[in-house]
Amino acid sequence: MKVLLLCNKSPYPQKEGGPIAMNMVVEGLLSHGHSVKVLAINSEKYNVSLSEIPDTYKNKTGIELVDVDLRVKPVPAFFNLFTGRSYHVDRFISEDFRARLIKILEEDQFDIIQLETLYTGPYIETIRKYSRAKIVLRAHNIEHLIWQRVAEESKNPLKRIYVNHLARTLKKFELSLIPKVDGIAAITVNDADYFENLERYWNSANQGADHHVPVITVPFGIDPSNYPVNEESSAPSLFSIGSMNWMPNEEGIRWFLEQAWPEIHNQYPDLKYYLAGRAMPKWMRMLDMPNVEIIGEVEDAQAFIRSKSIMIVPLFSGSGIRIKIIEGMAAARTIISTSLGAEGIHYTNGENILIANAPCEFFDMVSLCMEDRPRCRKIGEAARELIETEYNRDLIASKLISFYKELTA
């Protein structure tokens, strides 16, 4: 089977969640003997040079990168308020990208063309014109929910108005994609349910139309053999890692530092909290709080995770699945997350993860880990077992391939 992946950013190198999730599909398909071609947008926000990509990866994926300017421009962003279009999506429309896509479709035939995130959705009409391939939307998140939740958390009324506008227009675009694709691969069960409900809504809104798009849940998976487990250091520590230019991450870290960390530090003055991640905002880089260590971007995220003890994931907005939680679980680390942060993962609270939604709950969960180290380690071990049984890359890739075969039968 020949698969073309249209990516909103390069799946290699794997510096953040999106590329890691996309590369899972690439490696999973290749490991099962299928052909993969990658065409990706290259932006200033996530800029990759082809020289960074190993020749072996280039050869097996035929990866091509097209530069697209995704910078937010104040004037177009303002005037977008008076349109019904999604400013987020419009930024991904590029004639250079379209031209390269056409050239690829003219030169080769594919069985499946997979859209990685809805931001590659504007190219569906081009695909239909030049290819007979089945189109699959791989939804990493319910994108408009991220912005809807950000708006709900915002205390600035002007920001709330604008972010609500972004959420509404994104939802409208998501709805418009339903009749245009042949299948949807959602990353969580909740997201799959959402798309099925959205389809029913679309059919109802279009005078009882009976359009049906198959939806499957294809979570993020890893190859457990790539995640060795080592004993944690004798001194326990807290840590968070993620792309800090993703608004839910930044706002969650700010909340934790302001609301939860002071009491934790007061009770455990020797405990350190390490912050790692790319594209840290200035306020975070300049942070001066007792026992908070600002690491910034790390060369090897897995090595960083293995060097620490307890992962803190204080998310209150967002959608999809937190890939860093999956990686932390694979390393047998204890995770303390909000309910929303752990959304989409088949966890059992108190068994393979600890859930906290308020400052006092974060304090209690940290205290549990500090005072009962054997239980803390047991939770990490159970987390690793969950990854091996439910988030194994090869099992998930097999499920996706079966979905492809059903669509092309």
Report the alpha-carbon distance of residue 150 to residue 161 in Å, rounded.
11
Contact by Cβ (8 Å): 39, 4: yes
List the Cα angle 29/24/149 in 5-degree steps.
135
Pick from 4, 18, 10, 5: nearest CA to 43: 10
Is the bond preceding residue 314 a cis peptide, omega within 30 degrees? no
Indicate the length of the chain as a whole number.
409
pLDDT at res. 69: 94
pLDDT at site 408: 96
Reference 212, options 200, 220, 223, 221; nearest CA is 200
Q: What is the pLDDT of residue 174?
A: 87
- Residue 388 in contact with residue 342, Cβ under 8 Å? no
Scanning 71-142, the segments in alpha helix (DSSP H) are 74-79, 87-90, 95-107, 124-130
pLDDT score recorded for residue 188: 84
Which DSSP letter does residue 48 get? -
Contacts from 100-106 at CB under 8 Å and sequence distance 24+? 100/39, 100/64, 100/66, 101/6, 101/39, 101/126, 101/127, 101/130, 102/126, 102/130, 104/4, 104/37, 104/39, 104/64, 105/130, 105/131, 106/130
Contact 111, 97 (CB under 8 A): no
Q: Is the pTM of this model over 0.85?
A: no
What is the Cβ-side half-sphere exposure of residue 122, based on CA atoms within 13 angstroms? 17
* Cβ atoms of residues 70 and 92 within 8 Å: yes
Is residue 312 within 8 A of residue 256, CB to CB? The reply is: yes
pLDDT averaged over consecutive 10-residue blocks of the chain (409 residues)? 97 86 93 96 93 95 96 84 88 97 98 96 98 95 76 79 86 89 90 82 66 87 84 80 87 95 97 94 93 94 91 82 88 95 91 97 97 94 93 91 96
CATH topology of domain 2-221+392-408: Rossmann fold (3.40.50)
Domain 225-390 CATH (choose: 3.30.300.30, 3.40.50.970, 3.40.50.2000, 3.40.50.720): 3.40.50.2000
CA gap 75, 369 in Å, rounded:
50
Are 182 and 136 in contact, with CB atoms under 8 Å apart?
A: yes
CA distance 137 to 141: 11
Domains 2-221+392-408 and 225-390 share a fold: yes
**Cβ pair 310, 376 in contact under 8 A:** yes
Predicted local distance difference test score (pLDDT) of residue 207 = 65
Output DSSP code: residue 289.
Answer: -
Sequence spans of domains, the chain:
2-221+392-408, 225-390
Report pLDDT for 370: 96
pLDDT at residue 201, as a whole number? 63
